[in-house]
Amino acid sequence: MNTSTTFERQTGSVARSVDDLAEWLARHLSPSSHLRLREPMSRRTTLRVGGEADLLLEAGTEADLAEAVRAARSRGVPWMVLGRGSNLLVRDGGIRGLVLTLNQPYFSRIEVHGVRLHCGAGARLKDLSAEARRCGLGGLEFLGGIPGSVGGAMRMNAGAWNAAVFDRLDRLRFMSAEGEVQELPAAQVPFSYRRCDLFRNHIALAADFVGEPSTPSEVEARARDLNERRWKSQPAAPSAGCIFKNPAALPAGRLVDELGLKGTRIGGAVVSDVHGNFIVNEGGATAADVLALIELIRTRAREVRGIELETEVEIIGE
């Protein structure tokens, strides 16, 4: 078990439980796992904002992950799973408790078996898309431009270009809050638009995706077309992706544009001039800046158009 920095003791029973957990994890987990103490979430999110997490564990194996979950549970320490940090806004007060990540090699592997791709939950979507392209498997090109992991994409049923993750999932592997591992066919797991409730209290471990037989050149051409269209319509500056779910009346980006809010700035956070449903960090933005812009947009949409916008980005922390 590897640790970094020095854990500063806090006051209160919860803080003491976190301190005890950190010491226990440092003694009991394998060398393939890495514990980071008081880790800034601005380093771990695509929006580049957010306060510190008390503890962050980069789990190296399923066994270490299960031990960490059980140890946190027995001490009453809250825990959450962090993917690649897209579609996420961490408040400036940070995260109390334990943050789990699956970015170590065991959880990032991608194996191809015929038309099936077995992927660890920590695998990057762009790597999954690239491997499918290399093997001449179509149908997964839409994943290439989504800046997230397989596990995060399953939790959010991420999608683009009228396709979504659960359209291509065949089988899921996951862990319960008690550290027990299970597998299910994807067809038996309820999901909806940008949501899969199974992963509100379970940890995604791996998944099997199914591609369509094609050729590398054909898949490459489709992927290139989608990527070119994406980068023409989305900002390059740090962002969390789309901020709002699309209301029934019209796309959220068009609504923001019609409200005249593109370019609106609070601190270092700006409503993108490229796409109205993106808030970008132009340098030095805080989570409070972003939250204030979100509330400004929601208020204007409600007052001017009678539309209640719902956030797609997940907002967590203190």
Query: Cα–Cα distance between 69 and 286 in angstroms, integer?
Result: 30
Looking at residue 5, its pLDDT comes to 36
C-beta separation of 32 from 61 below 8 A: yes
Looking at residue 10, its pLDDT comes to 44
Q: What are phi and psi of 14, to 5 degrees?
A: -65, -45
Say whether pLDDT at 9 is over 50: no
Query: Cα–Cα distance between 21 and 72 in angstroms, integer?
Result: 7
One-letter amino acid for residue 227 of the chain: N
**H or E element, residue 296:** helix 287-300
79-82 and 95-101 strand pairing: parallel
C-beta separation of 89 from 50 below 8 A: yes
Query: Cα–Cα distance between 212 and 138 in angstroms, integer?
Result: 5
Say whether pLDDT at 23 is over 90: yes
Supply the mean pLDDT for the chain.
90
Q: What is the mean pLDDT of residues 52-77?
A: 96
Say whether pLDDT at 8 is over 50: no
C-beta separation of 223 from 129 below 8 A: yes
Say whether pLDDT at 62 is over 60: yes
Looking at residue 3, its pLDDT comes to 41
**H or E element, residue 37:** strand 34-40
% of the chain with per-residue pLDDT over 70: 96
Say whether pLDDT at 11 is over 70: no
Looking at residue 107, its pLDDT comes to 95
**CB-based contacts of 98: which residues, under 8 Å, 6+ apart?**
18, 21, 53, 54, 55, 56, 57, 68, 72, 77, 78, 79, 80
pLDDT band at 194 (very low <50, low <70, confident <90, very high): confident
One-letter amino acid for residue 173 of the chain: R
Looking at residue 1, its pLDDT comes to 52
Say whether pLDDT at 2 is over 90: no
Q: What are the structure tokens assigned to 6, written together?
A: 């020095």
CA-based Rg of the chain, rounded to a whole angstrom? 20
**CB-based contacts of 258: which residues, under 8 Å, 6+ apart?**
305
For 215-265, the pLDDT digits (tens) are 888 988 888 888 777 777 788 899 998 999 999 989 999 999 999 999 999
Say whether pLDDT at 54 is over 60: yes
Nearest to 117 by CA among 183, 211, 187, 215: 211
Which has more confidence, 198 or 263? 263
Which has more confidence, 229 or 40? 40
Looking at residue 46, its pLDDT comes to 93
- Of 79-83, 144-148, 313-317, which range is least confident? 144-148
For 130-150, the pLDDT digits (tens) are 999 999 999 888 887 777 899
Q: Going from the N-terminus, what domains does the chain have, and what CATH number goes with each? A: 2-105 (3.30.43.10), 109-232 (3.30.465.10), 235-316 (3.90.78.10)
Say whether pLDDT at 166 is over 50: yes
Give alpha helix (H) positions in 103-205. 105-108, 125-134, 150-156
pLDDT band at 290 (very low <50, low <70, confident <90, very high): very high
C-beta separation of 186 from 166 below 8 A: yes
